[in-house]
Amino acid sequence: MDPTRRELLQAGWKVGGGMLAVAAGWTTWEALRPLADTSGGGVLQLQPVEQYTDGSATFVREGRFYLTRVQGELFALSQKCPHLGCAVPFCEASGRFECPCHGSMYNLGGEHLAGPAPRGMDRHPLQIVDGRVVVNTAVIEQGAALGSRRFGAPTGTGGCAPTDAEPERRA
């Protein structure tokens, strides 16, 4: 017996809904999954140093790190949270890094501001060669110890990851 038009439509909706569910699940997993290893194992030559303005955070996808500049200093901060390894995004609204998994927060220098992380964001060594920033992603240096505050807390308002670390932001 041939399927009716109604049965075909129902089957189409089920297939479409299933595909949407898979896409949503995949996207969420990609955003939050712990990173096994952020080191690309290589040396990356980036833009000329003047391209990185003070107060900026530039994501370098090939190396899975952020190139930040704060108070004239440059840092290559690993995207891997030093707590349990989630990918940490930069929050433009607050001017800090905010981990979506358990709420650890870091300033542009990668220093720990709040949350359960045991230290600041880990770093890759960098140098300036012929005016360009060169980052060695094969080497990971541990982030600054808890309590380090050379670069202070950002003054931006709002945030991207509501957490237990900031109960005052709850209504």
**According to the binding rule CB under 6 A, does residue 102 interact with ligand FES?**
yes
**According to the binding rule CB under 6 A, does residue 101 interact with ligand FES?**
yes
Label residues 154-169 b or e (16+ Cβ within 10 Å = b): beeeebbbebebbeee
Label residues 15-49 b or e (16+ Cβ within 10 Å = b): eeeeeeeeeeeeeeeeeeeeeeebbbeebbebeee
Q: Nearer to ligand FES by C-beta: 85 or 134?
A: 85
Binding marks (x or -) toward ligand FES, 74..93, rule CB under 6 A? -------x-xxxx-------
**According to the binding rule CB under 6 A, does residue 105 interact with ligand FES?**
no
How many residues touch ligand FES under the rule CB under 6 A: the total is 13
Instruction: Measure the CA–CA gap between 32 and 82, rounded to whole angstroms.
Output: 14
**According to the binding rule CB under 6 A, does residue 104 interact with ligand FES?**
yes
Q: Nearer to ligand FES by C-beta: 100 or 136?
A: 100
Q: Nearer to ligand FES by C-beta: 102 or 166?
A: 102
Instruction: Measure the CA–CA gap between 35 and 88, rounded to whole angstroms.
Output: 10
Specify which residues 74 forms β-bridges with.
69
Selected binder of ligand FES within 76, 77, 91, 99 (CB under 6 A): 99
Q: Nearer to ligand FES by C-beta: 76 or 86?
A: 86
Enumerate binding residues for ligand FES (CB under 6 A).
81, 83-86, 99, 101-104, 115-117
